[in-house]
Amino acid sequence: MKVWLILIYLMITSPALAQSITCTADVPTDTCKTVSALFSRQINSRIVIADPASFRREKESLNKKYETLILSGDFRNPAIPNRYSDDILFERDDKPCPAQVFVSTDAFRPLLKIKKGPKGEFAGAEYGEGIDLTRVIDVAIYVDGFVEGCAWGILTYLGDEVNKPRKRE
């Protein structure tokens, strides 16, 4: 039974087990090497470290794809919503978990100052140039946890379905 669950898990979670980390052409080489080194090599999604312009184009492309799908009566969003959707884009194909993750280099910029409004409320933030390793690690942990959490959630669901008592007919 466990072998079947593992096979189903592998079929659902990713199109390929060999996960890769790539960078778009406009990402500086040193940034690409540093960021790539901190991401887990064990998750089953392709990770693309993208410059802000490439990230925006990919996000717009997925939005157009979603609009087309809605018009055809298919309501599956190719982008999985997440709390950091301004900088991280989880893209799925026909499987429920992310097949590809786009991460904007903007997610790694160091936070210089938090701006406050007249009543002390949050009014934005000011970011510096370059990358902050702490932010890279935070993003890497978030992406790894999101993808692995999805995969393990499906595996747990499948395990519960297999172990459910069935009525004999």
**pLDDT digit string (tens) for 89-119?**
999 887 778 889 999 999 898 877 777 888 8
What phi and psi, each to the nearest 5 degrees, are found at residue 16? -150, 145
3-class state of residue 120 by DSSP: coil
Residue extents of the structural domains in the chain = 19-154
Q: What is the pLDDT of residue 19?
A: 60
> From the centroid of its chain, how far is CA 132?
20
How many angstroms separate the CA atoms of 97 and 91, rounded?
8
Model pLDDT for residues 8-61, shown as the tens digit of each residue:
444 444 444 446 889 999 999 998 988 888 876 666 788 999 999 999 999 999
Q: What is the pTM of this model?
A: 0.71
- Looking from the CA of 152 toward its CB, the CA atoms found within 13 Å total 7
